[in-house]
């Protein structure tokens, strides 16, 4: 990290140790950095090439995206040896669903949605029989095809868990707090939520008649296999 003149190449990054520590810890924990945390975002923007080089030396690749018009940064593993952590299947489905809502309605849909609204839209759009194995896995006592009213509360709890997971990586923001009760919980879109549209952009740009979905998933998200399945093996 020292150049030929003996100067620390990354010296400017250490001038504010506290901010550097916050940024490095946030990014290495998988968080996306956007302009809603202006101090860290500005720090990245101002020294993007240096940060890219720094993270590269410790085995990570810095990504800068502006899909959706708002810039955000995140890291991925550079080495193929590391097995990255994956979002749960429930959170992935919820992320895909939320990003679809914003793609359909555009700025017509407020950036903030009550969690109850998310639940109602999910319930109205996706057949419960198909989402049940994803959100409930092997929970007993849950009707296979239809969601009963008493089971709706359990479904809301599962959705809240998936929302908290998405919030922990700054795909969305939860207010008044991530632990608020479902009836007052509000979901706010953050720029990184548009990452869930990357597959669709590739698919929609494909000139083939029947594009291979599996190949597109593999290209962007690796094998996309459930880590739960790997553990079971």
Q: By the criterion CB under 8 A, which residues form the site for other proteins?
A: 25, 28-30, 60, 66-70, 74-77, 82, 84-89, 91-93, 95-97, 99-100, 102-108, 111, 126, 130-131, 134, 169, 191, 194-197, 199-201, 203-204, 213-214, 217, 221-222, 224-229
57 versus 77: smaller Cβ distance to other proteins: 77
Q: How far apart are CB 115 and other proteins at their closest, in Å?
A: 19
Q: How far apart are CB 141 and other proteins at their closest, in Å?
A: 22
Instruction: Count CB neighbours of 160 within 10 A.
Output: 20
Rounded to whole angstroms, the Cα distance separating 78 from 45 reads 21
Rounded to whole angstroms, the Cα distance separating 211 from 202 reads 10
15 versus 18: smaller Cβ distance to other proteins: 18
43 versus 72: smaller Cβ distance to other proteins: 72
Q: What are phi and psi of 83, to 5 degrees?
A: -100, 110
Angle at 7 between CA 55 and CA 33, to 5 degrees: 25
20 versus 89: smaller Cβ distance to other proteins: 89
Pairing of strands 186-189, 172-175: antiparallel
């Amino acid at each position: 990290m020292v150049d030929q003149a003996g100067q620390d190449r990354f010296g400017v990054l250490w001038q504010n140790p506290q901010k550097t520590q916050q940024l490095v810890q946030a990014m290495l924990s998988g968080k996306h950095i956007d302009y809603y945390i202006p101090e860290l975002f500005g720090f990245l923007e101002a020294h993007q090439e240096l940060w890219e080089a720094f993270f590269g030396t410790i085995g990570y690749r810095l990504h800068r995206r502006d899909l959706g018009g708002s810039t955000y940064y995140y890291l991925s593993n550079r080495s193929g040896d590391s097995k990255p952590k994956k979002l749960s299947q429930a959170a992935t489905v919820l992320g895909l669903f939320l990003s679809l809502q914003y793609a359909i309605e555009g700025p017509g849909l407020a950036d903030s949605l009550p969690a109850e609204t998310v639940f109602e839209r999910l319930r109205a759009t996706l057949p419960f029989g198909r989402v049940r194995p994803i959100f409930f896995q092997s929970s007993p006592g849950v009707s296979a095809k239809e969601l009963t009213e008493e089971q709706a509360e359990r479904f809301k709890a599962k959705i809240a868990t998936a929302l908290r997971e998405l919030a922990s990586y700054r795909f969305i923001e939860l207010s008044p707090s991530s632990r608020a009760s479902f009836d007052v919980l509000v979901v706010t879109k953050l720029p990184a939520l548009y990452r869930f549209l990357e597959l669709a952009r590739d698919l929609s740009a494909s000139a083939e008649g029947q594009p291979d979905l599996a190949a597109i998933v593999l290209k962007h998200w690796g094998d996309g296999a459930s880590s739960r399945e790997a553990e079971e093996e």
